[in-house]
Amino acid sequence: MTTPLVEMDGDEMTRILWKMIKDELLLPFVDLKTEYYDLGLPHRDETADQVTIDSAEAAKRLGVAVKCATITPNLKRMDEYKLHEMWKSPNGTIRSILDGTVFRTPITIPSIKPVVKNWEKPITIARHAYGDVYKSVELRADEPGVAKLVFDGESGKHEEVVIHNFKGAGVLQGMHNVDKSIRSFAHSCFKFSLDTKQDLWFSTKDTISKKYDAQFRIIFEEVFEQDYKAKFEELGLEYFYTLIDDAVARVIRSKGGYIWACKNYDGDVMSDMVSTAFGSLAMMTSVLVSPDGKYEYEAAHGTVTRHYYRYLEGEQTSTNPMATIFAWTGALRKRGEMDNLADLQNFADQLEGACFDTLNEGICTKDLANLMEGVEVKSVTSADFIAAIRERLEKRLG
């Protein structure tokens, strides 16, 4: 390796897996260079969360990061970890610094059949991670009255529209998005599409939301025409826009193998639908791509707290490390591409191959045991699963 990866360590069971993966599957094979940031909750608390900001700045500087799952504190965690403050979600902090889009893709194997039988290839959801209902304000109107949407421009311009004339009680919500973020979203999606050589679908509800959702469609169209159309044509790729309800119907009837870009709420809901239909969250890769081409790879699942508590009691757990291993391979491959290191890219391919070899022989963690068909299933602990991968990796690397 030439440029180090930004390594963001995390919490609980995934922190345990993190170390096992490094010790067994990376350090014996790769001259691993990382800039290490400990995002484990105790260290975030010690540094007043500065470490999270520093790690995101490092990702901006170095270009590729790999992140372990982390705890987002709530009241229970305040007590459990004796925190000084209820620190914000690290993913939220990193996202707002890198300003990106999250791409989630299922890791598919022949023995786990998607619920939708015509899906032959993975479907990647690209979720816009800013604004809309996630940054909305709400009001309870508890008596008759008029609700208005008001805009006071800095120039003195004043606009207002009546939302509703309430005859009785009701509810109200105000939400927003900004062109800058929508534009970043569009760039990230088109770049990822070129990167992975897959078509891009984008859907909103612009027939109903003629200004708000339409602005998304218009910006995507502009960005595509200006910066990507020629490259898409060169590679024989397609970008197409359609209504969200039409998209849902097409997705279900499709063979898969494309990227589906969704607004924040649609992406939240549809990524759960897609991941569940393909198998499990533990078999899902997740990467944050910034508009200027910085990458942060992570697992899509959390820190698997229930398993960690059992681990603390001395139990050998059967937690699935696939998503965390693929976060590493994704990051190593990207680093290899950026630095022109063919060996590093090959190592990432071989490690993923060794994971597939293992699963294809029916060796898996408990969560997958019930999902597999057509192989003799042998459910093992995380440590044994990783050891089985290592054996196959050594064979592949000769």
Q: Rule CB under 5 A: which residues touch Mg ion?
A: 268
Asked if 372 interacts with ligand NAP (CB under 6 A), we say no
Q: How far is the CB of 282 from ligand NAP (least distance, A)?
A: 4
The structure tokens listed for 140 are 């309870």
| CA pair distance 60, 69, nearest whole angstrom | 19
**Helix 322-339 and helix 12-21: axis angle, to 10°?**
50
69 vs 223 by CB, closer to ligand NAP:
69
Taking CB within 5 to 8 Å according to partner kind, which of ligand NAP, Mg ion, none is near residue 268? Answer: Mg ion
Q: How far is the CB of 286 from ligand NAP (least distance, A)?
A: 7
Paired strand residues for 295: 64, 289
Q: How many angstroms separate the Cα of 278 from the Cα of each of 90, 256, 259, 365? A: 27, 11, 15, 17
115 vs 169 by CB, closer to ligand NAP:
115
Q: How many residues bind ligand NAP (CB under 6 A)?
A: 17
Taking CB within 5 to 8 Å according to partner kind, which of ligand NAP, Mg ion, none is near residue 72? Answer: ligand NAP
146 vs 269 by CB, closer to Mg ion:
269
x-or-dash pattern for ligand NAP, window 275-314, by CB under 6 A?
------xx---------------x--xxxxxx--------
Residue of minimal CB distance from ligand NAP?
A: 302
| CA pair distance 135, 391, nearest whole angstrom | 48
Taking CB within 5 to 8 Å according to partner kind, which of Mg ion, ligand NAP, none is near residue 131? Answer: none
- Find the helix or strand (DSSP H, E) in which 56 lies: helix 50-62
Taking CB within 5 to 8 Å according to partner kind, which of Mg ion, ligand NAP, none is near residue 392? Answer: none
Q: How far apart are the first and last CA of the chain?
A: 20
Q: How far is the CB of 75 from ligand NAP (least distance, A)?
A: 12
The structure tokens listed for 211 are 């200004």
Q: How many angstroms separate the Cα of 54 from the Cα of each of 50, 245, 269? A: 6, 41, 31
| CA pair distance 199, 254, nearest whole angstrom | 13
Question: Where along the sequence are the contacts to ligand NAP (CB under 6 A)?
Answer: 69-72, 91, 281-282, 298, 301-306, 319-320, 367
